[in-house]
Amino acid sequence: TEEQQQDSIRRRRLARLAGGPSSQPTTPLTSPQRETPPGPPVVAPAPGPSHSLGLNVHSMTPATSPIGASGVAHRSQSSEGVSSLSSSPSNSLETQSQSLSRSQSMDIDSVSCEKSMSQVDVDSGIENMEVDENDRREKRSLTDKEPLSGSEVSEEQALQLVCKIFRVSWKDRDRDVIFLNSLSAQFKQNPKEVFSDFKDLIGQILMEVLMMSTQSRDENPFASLTATSQPIAAAARSPDRSLILNMGSNPGSSPMFCNVGSFGSSSLSSVGGSGSSSVSDSCSDHFTIENCKETEMLNYLIECFDRVGIEERKAPKMCSQPTVSQLLSNIRSQCISHAALVLQGSLTQPRSLQQQSLLVPYMLCRNLPFGFIQELVRTTYQDEEVFKQIFIPILQGLAVASKECSLDSDNFKYPLMALCELCEIKFGKTHPMCSLVVSLPLWLPKSLSTGAGRELQRLSYLGAFFSLSVFAEDDNKVVEKYFSGPAITLENTRVVSQSLQHYLELARQELFKILHSILLNGETREAALNYMAAIVNANMKKAQMQTDDRLVSTDGFMLNFLWVLQQLSTKIKLETVDPMYIFHPRCRIDLPTDETRVKATMEDVAAWIAELYRDPSPFSEPKFPTECFFLTLHAHHLSILPSCRRYIRRLRAIRELNRTVEDLKNNESQWKDSPLATRHREMLKRCKTQLKKLVRCKACADAGLLDENFLRRCLNFYGMVIQLMLRILDPAYPNIKLPLAPEVPKVFAALPEFYVEDVAEFLFFIVQYAPQVLYEPCTQDIVMFLVVMLCNQNYIRNPYLVAKLVEVMFMTNPAVQPRTQKFFEMIENHPLSTKLLVPSLMKFYTDVEHTGATSEFYDKFTIRYHISTIFKSLWQNIAHHGTFMEEFNSGKQFVRYINMLINDTTFLLDESLESLKRIHEVQEEMKNKEQWDLLPRDQQQARQSQLAQDERVSRSYLALATETVDMFHILTKQVQKPFLRPNVSSFPKSLPNFFFSP
């Protein structure tokens, strides 16, 4: 039959092009022909008068490809897909989706085309290159010459379009085209039998061009082509064979905007000439590209794919005709299929998975046409081996590029955006790239040492992307670039911090999209949850007061991870969270067996859990909201709280160094002539160097930690945690009534103690360093929680945890922190606090005499100082004043409270006077210069050391004593009767006169 004859001719022709036998190849990846892909058969009608060109939509399958996995035309692609890597770095998802819907439309009018082009190419977020006015006029003239939509496309016009896109010719040798010898000979011999349809012709053209490239030793078929867009492969011919990521160009209307060369020697000259000047200081990242035949072939195929889009933009009405639309769709499909062959090395030498993919530099430079990567995924993902061979090197290349990036420039975003767009590619409910990512051996590597946290960060695939950090301990480049100046002022630190926080926000948004896509994909959700749980479990030691930082993940890594989990938790409703999850047999979080609980002992917890396991009814199947909520809660415990502690320790170290430097400078006259002068000068020099280093580290930490938006997210999440605990304490929340039930709910008693402690510690931090963050909608719940816990101290076993809650209230006191006056007023005016807060604090004042700790004697003074300060403020409140009076007249705590107050005052005043006496003696000795100089050097140093210690002790004790005396003054001024009761045997026989006001 005629169809069999055409097929035989086609096979012989392909065999000649490939230089092999005429038989049908057994491997589907070495030939441009393949069986029809699975699906409904497409019947190709016999060529008739109107179908002789093979341009009818129904006359062919959309893709005749070497691997034939797609079978889907570019125009009819699924709307589920996500835009590929052609768009500029700052294009939003909305812009990309608009562009994608544009590519799906069969009828493209000039208005929609112009609109989408303005979004994709102009609004790129990168400085546009100046476009010559002649280019604009030429562009307009080409559009004006567009044929009318009613005109029929002739065979000659279709052939011209094909030749124009592929830049080939089989008629005449001309400049700027590739002459096809084999096709030329066939057209001369028998023009009617050269191709059965345009699908066939496209395959022949591409195969002959690519074969010319592989077989030509003396002449490069692409050398005569000048650039029509800006692909990057010409840089492979440059001496350094590296690509410079250009930040400020967007040439013309082409979506390829990396300012490096294209085909031909003319473009290379521009790279060597202007490229070096455009590379500036900020563009220091080099992305190496191989100088090989595959690069040239891939660059040619990418340009052809891009020219299809250019033709569509130039002539939207003509290209919207079904025949032309199908032709362009076939061109795209064939370019993608042959690109897949090139990426595998099927036309040259097979490429291993360890070799860097040829596409990675294009993706990092955002230099691919719209839809290219998406079509490549669509065409290959159904063939698992081919898909892995093409995209595993791409994923590995993106990870390597991310490891080399830093926040000292904005090049960090390109690997992130590339991976994000790959993971968002979706066909139906399947995310092929997500499935491939989690199948990598390094998705969740097994731990090989005790440093599981650091291993997971260094070895896991996403670890490189999550490791971007502004902290000086994590990345020294940030310090060197932004904080290496002679002086670090508050103003320049604020400006730089805002810039770094913006960079971090961009990076974290991309990280969230990546992990969110993996969670959305049903096949990979379990793997994503396992990875999230592994990060939490591997970094349990990070919450310890003393930990080896080499064994756990860095602060930057953990804060990025926390930010992503916070975003995942924003839409969680507490009604869907199971509070029993932490005790669930299938809980992903490995809570240490010795973890301190809020109220229960370890034996109580073990017995209660054993009882629960005997009766499985309390446990339901863990759902994603529950697991995500508790993973986020534990991530806060392992990220934001350790970072806050490190920040406070650094500030303390800076203060100590400043004091040391000042002491050395002030006492220079005493040691400059001594034998230890050289040692003191070296110490002074080291202290100054260390101080300068710590100040720079502190400036970086300000950018990474004191981000108001980030702290607000943390506060809002802790608000959710507080709501959950209040629901456990009283199911009637928010209508809680005090006092609570005498019996503590077992669920609350068995909760880890840090659930409550972290709330207090975080509040303490933001009150000190970011009080403006405190006023959020969740503040009301935080106030209620503080009041409920302080009024029901029997619900907490550890007195130091209650002391932390007291300290939070003390720190919000307007006498201590004026900026938190509103918060303190919310506490003292809360309906639940007016009756029980004062008696509860008074009881704690007396109970803290014995805490069980070795330092209880000294700790109690600080705690009682906090309570006395709070009482002074509450005394001014009318509602609490009445409570004070009731307690003084008939309360159970008043006598013990006054007794402790008197004892503390006596001790503090005695110790202060003794310290003042010793201070005075040493100062008198030092005034007598002659007698002081006669003392041995070691005695002088001992006296000076004792003087410094006495000054610190007296300063602290006098502050505490002053506070207690002020409290006595307030009480005895208005309440004298209780002090004069004859049955108060606890008081000393004689009280100092100053205890009572006249």
What pLDDT band is residue 217 in, cutting at 50, 70 and 90?
low
% of the chain at pLDDT higher than 70:
75
Would you state the pLDDT for residue 8? 59
pLDDT digits (tens, 9 = 90+) for 492-519: 788 889 999 999 999 999 999 999 999 9
Would you state the pLDDT for residue 893? 77
Q: State mean pLDDT over 310-329.
A: 88
Beta strand ranges found along 233-320 (DSSP E)? 242-244, 286-288
pLDDT at 907 > cutoff 60: yes
CA 382 to chain centre: 31
Count of C-beta atoms within a 10 Å radius of residue 822: 13
Opening angle at CA 400, ends 339 and 503, nearest 5? 105
Q: State mean pLDDT over 287-295.
A: 76
CA distance 561 to 536: 10
Q: State mean pLDDT over 926-946.
A: 84
Q: State mean pLDDT over 37-60.
A: 34
Higher pLDDT, 150 or 642: 642
Higher pLDDT, 430 or 260: 430
Beta bridge partners of 179: 169
Q: Residue 752 in contact with residue 597, Cβ under 8 Å?
A: yes
Beta bridge partners of 286: 244
Would you state the pLDDT for residue 981? 63
What is the dihedral sign for C-alpha 233, 239, 243, 245? negative
pLDDT digits (tens, 9 = 90+) for 152-168: 677 788 888 888 888 88
pLDDT at 268 > cutoff 70: no
Q: How many CA atoms lie within 13 A of 598 on its CB side?
A: 23
CA distance 139 to 768: 61
CA distance 703 to 736: 40
What pLDDT band is residue 866 in, cutting at 50, 70 and 90?
very high
Higher pLDDT, 200 or 61: 200
Q: Is 427 in a helix, a strand, or coil?
A: strand
- Percent helix, strand, coil in the chain, to 5, is 65, 0, 35
418: Cβ contacts below 8 Å, ≥ 6 apart? 85, 363, 364, 398
pLDDT at 521 > cutoff 90: yes
Q: Residue 824 in contact with residue 809, Cβ under 8 Å?
A: yes
Would you state the pLDDT for residue 65? 34
CA distance 195 to 162: 13
CA nearest neighbour of 743 among 789, 794, 785, 787: 794
Tokens of 570: 């924003």
Q: State mean pLDDT over 214-239.
A: 58
CA distance 942 to 530: 59
CA distance 533 to 628: 9
CA distance 796 to 840: 13
CA distance 331 to 328: 5
DSSP string, 825-846: HHHHT-TTHHHHHHHHHHHHHH
Please provide residue 244's backbone torsions phi and psi, each rounded to the nearest 5 degrees.
-100, 125
Range scoring the smallest mean pLDDT among 38-42, 801-805, 912-916: 38-42
Tokens of 250: 């967007």
Higher pLDDT, 25 or 850: 850
Q: Is 288 in a helix, a strand, or coil?
A: strand
Higher pLDDT, 124 or 530: 530
Longest dimension (CA), the chain: 131
CA distance 767 to 811: 7
Residues in the chain: 998
Q: State mean pLDDT over 804-827.
A: 93
pLDDT digits (tens, 9 = 90+) for 356-398: 888 999 999 888 898 999 999 999 999 999 999 999 999 999 9
Would you state the pLDDT for residue 216? 60
Distances in Å between the Cα of 164 and the Cα atoms of 103, 181, 223, 331 are: 21, 17, 17, 12
CA distance 187 to 195: 10
% of the chain at pLDDT higher than 90:
43
CA nearest neighbour of 33 among 185, 201, 211: 201
pLDDT at 141 > cutoff 90: no
CA nearest neighbour of 358 among 236, 266, 514, 227: 236
pLDDT digits (tens, 9 = 90+) for 564-617: 999 999 999 999 999 999 999 899 999 988 899 999 999 999 999 888 888 766
pLDDT at 237 > cutoff 50: no
CA distance 698 to 622: 41
CA 440 to chain centre: 21
Beta strand pairing status for 286-288 and 242-244?
antiparallel
Q: State mean pLDDT over 171-183.
A: 82
Q: State mean pLDDT over 433-440.
A: 96
Higher pLDDT, 258 or 783: 783
pLDDT at 73 > cutoff 80: no
Count of C-beta atoms within a 10 Å radius of residue 918: 17
Higher pLDDT, 230 or 338: 338
Q: State mean pLDDT over 422-451.
A: 93
CA nearest neighbour of 410 among 502, 323, 329: 502
Average pLDDT value for the chain: 77
Q: Residue 408 in contact with residue 294, Cβ under 8 Å?
A: no
What pLDDT band is residue 946 in, cutting at 50, 70 and 90?
confident
Count of C-beta atoms within a 10 Å radius of residue 122: 11
DSSP string, 558-603: HHHHHHHHHHHHTT--GGG--TTGGG-TT-SS---TT--BSS--HH
Beta bridge partners of 812: none
Would you state the pLDDT for residue 720? 96
Would you state the pLDDT for residue 674? 80
pLDDT at 643 > cutoff 80: yes
CA nearest neighbour of 371 among 332, 339, 428, 417: 332
Q: Residue 425 in contact with residue 511, Cβ under 8 Å?
A: no
Opening angle at CA 985, ends 979 and 991, nearest 5? 50
Amino acid sitting at position 995: F
Higher pLDDT, 993 or 412: 412
Would you state the pLDDT for residue 44? 35
pLDDT at 624 > cutoff 90: yes
pLDDT digits (tens, 9 = 90+) for 735-780: 999 889 999 999 999 999 999 999 999 999 999 999 999 988 899 9
What pLDDT band is residue 885 in, cutting at 50, 70 and 90?
confident
Please provide residue 510's backbone torsions phi and psi, each rounded to the nearest 5 degrees.
-65, -40
Q: What is the CA radius of gyration of the chain?
A: 38
Q: Residue 696 in contact with residue 483, Cβ under 8 Å?
A: yes
Would you state the pLDDT for residue 46? 35
pLDDT at 52 > cutoff 60: no
Q: Residue 553 in contact with residue 454, Cβ under 8 Å?
A: yes
pLDDT at 297 > cutoff 70: yes
